[in-house]
């Protein structure tokens, strides 16, 4: 079903509803960027609610969500979908590769001290699919350029003289997970670090562009849009998270009541773990064969 409404009525609003309902209302080719960090279907509870489906049902839902999102995206737009590699691989092969001009699979790497298994390496990355609807997608290297690794190289000196602000980042990104003690942490169970969403948003939008944040969550990406002067549209199904987002936007900060309350033994635990990590680092560097 095609949306027939005017996009203006949706700008800078966060709806408390199912994203599929919102997507179906939005007009064709009306947003500059789609950013999706959905529930990954791995049993995580959001506010005590689990959205877990069978894998096949999940992929069916994920495909429908991507299909609607591409319809709403302008031809010059970009869509980024964050998920675990298997979910994104199925979505890509079953739908995106045929529907898009090009799909790139980026990797977000992080350190973790959970999820270890004795029979395989520990998962410490997520996949970020970057979907270009057409070859004419907007992409702003200067918004995200990193310092050149060899700035005295003749070719690089030429680039700098010609106004280049730096090199294009690689397609793997290292960003720390949002730690329980971090300033941006709320009681939401699964937040994306704001410096990661900031980079993605800046890479393909300019001030006043419209970003569709599919899943509001803690409001972290919506806050980034506000700070960067991007217009946003978003949906969050859960009432408590929705309230937190609205208060966060109104007040311009996360109120104490929404912060993760750690019990004193949990804080002690974190400190003990940090101490052990430091000790491990010292041990590893003193025993390294290749220095």
Ligand X SMILES: C[S@@+](CC[C@H](N)C(=O)[O-])C[C@H]1O[C@@H](n2cnc3c(N)ncnc32)[C@H](O)[C@@H]1O
Residues that bind ligand X (CB under 6 A): 18-19, 37-39, 46, 51, 188, 190-192, 215, 217-218, 220-221, 235-238, 241
Nearer to ligand X, 17 or 141 (CB): 17
| Residue in the shown chain whose Cβ atom is closest to ligand X | 217
Query: Minimum Å distance from CB 192 to ligand X?
Result: 4
Nearer to ligand X, 131 or 244 (CB): 244
Query: Minimum Å distance from CB 60 to ligand X?
Result: 13
Nearer to ligand X, 95 or 215 (CB): 215
Query: Minimum Å distance from CB 17 to ligand X?
Result: 7
Instruction: Tokens for 52, please give them.
Output: 């877990």
Query: Minimum Å distance from CB 188 to ligand X?
Result: 5
- CA angle at 66 for the pair 64 and 70, rounded to the nearest 5°: 120
Query: Minimum Å distance from CB 189 to ligand X?
Result: 8
Query: Minimum Å distance from CB 264 to ligand X?
Result: 26
Nearer to ligand X, 77 or 216 (CB): 216
Nearer to ligand X, 157 or 228 (CB): 228
Nearer to ligand X, 156 or 246 (CB): 246
């Amino acid at each position: 079903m095609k949306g027939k409404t005017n996009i203006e009525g949706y700008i800078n609003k966060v709806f408390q509803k199912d994203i599929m309902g919102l997507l179906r209302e939005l007009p064709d080719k009306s947003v500059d960027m789609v950013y999706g960090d959905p529930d990954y279907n791995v049993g995580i509870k959001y506010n005590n609610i689990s959205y877990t489906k069978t894998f096949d049902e999940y992929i069916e839902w994920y495909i429908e969500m991507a299909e609607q999102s591409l319809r709403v995206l302008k031809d010059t737009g970009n869509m980024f979908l964050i998920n675990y590699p298997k979910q994104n691989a199925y979505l890509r092969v079953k739908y995106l590769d045929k529907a898009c001009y090009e799909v790139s699979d980026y990797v977000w790497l992080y350190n973790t001290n959970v999820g270890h298994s004795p029979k395989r390496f520990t998962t410490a990355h997520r996949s970020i699919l970057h979907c270009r609807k057409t070859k004419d997608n907007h992409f702003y290297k200067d918004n995200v350029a990193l310092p050149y690794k060899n700035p005295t190289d003749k070719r690089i000196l030429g680039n700098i003289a010609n106004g280049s602000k730096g090199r294009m980042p690689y397609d793997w990104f290292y960003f720390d997970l949002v730690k329980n003690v971090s300033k941006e942490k709320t009681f939401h169970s699964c937040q994306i670090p704001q410096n990661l969403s900031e980079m993605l948003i800046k890479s393909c939008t300019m001030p006043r562009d419209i970003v569709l944040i599919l899943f509001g969550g803690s409001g972290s990406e919506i806050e980034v849009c506000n700070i960067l002067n991007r217009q946003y549209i978003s949906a969050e199904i859960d009432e408590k998270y929705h309230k937190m987002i609205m208060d966060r936007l109104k007040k311009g900060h996360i109120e104490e009541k929404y912060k993760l309350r750690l019990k004193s033994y949990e804080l002690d635990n974190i400190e003990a773990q940090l101490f052990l990590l430091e000790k491990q680092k010292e041990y590893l560097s003193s025993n390294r064969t290749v220095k």
